[in-house]
Amino acid sequence: MISVILPALKEEPATLETLAALVEGVAEGVLRDCVLVSAKPSTLFEHYADAAGCAYIVEAGSYEALLKKGADFVRSDWSLVITPGLVPSGDWLTALGDWLSDRPPPTHAAFIPFHAKRGLRATLSAWVMNVQPRVTGRVNTLHGLVASTSVLREGLLPRLALTRMDARMVDRRVG
């Protein structure tokens, strides 16, 4: 089983769509627990988390600080990190299960590529963003990231051996 960490630097109304997409993973027995970590107190996030059965934590700081706090809270060896407002789509549960069944070492991670909204500029930007992790070993916050919870607890994401998963993240953010 895997945990989900949703680090939020700002309030995002489309977080509800992200949480709704995770229900399938809970029903399939793939997702164990979920935590929404917000940089600022938000009644919207509090209501969403409560409705979805997701823990809600407020932690001031950077994106990395939110990841670390979320990793300190969750219980699984592996965590799926999703920016609120992004929705995993395609056969993401199968891709996740297949990758984890290979029993990767903690220094390995996988990313779910970002699928842009319509338009040539957005599509080209997403293509570059999705090639970048393989070159640099670092993911963008618009990717879904599957990483060892112990690595996330360290507070910094070291250069990881990244695998691209056969799924995608769809942008549902407002604005």
CATH at residue 100: 3.90.550.10
* pLDDT at residue 57, rounded to an integer: 96
* pLDDT at residue 159, rounded to an integer: 61
The pairing of strands 55-58 and 78-81 is unpaired
Beta strands in 39-120 (DSSP E): 55-58, 78-81, 86-89, 108-112, 114-115
pLDDT average, residue stretch 122-136: 62
- The C-alpha atoms of residue 116 and residue 170 are separated, in whole angstroms, by 7
Q: What is the pTM of this model?
A: 0.86
What residue numbers bound the domain in which 44 lies? Answer: 2-171
For the chain, the domain total comes to 1
- The C-alpha atoms of residue 12 and residue 172 are separated, in whole angstroms, by 10
For the stretch 45-63, pLDDT in tens is 999 999 999 999 999 998 8
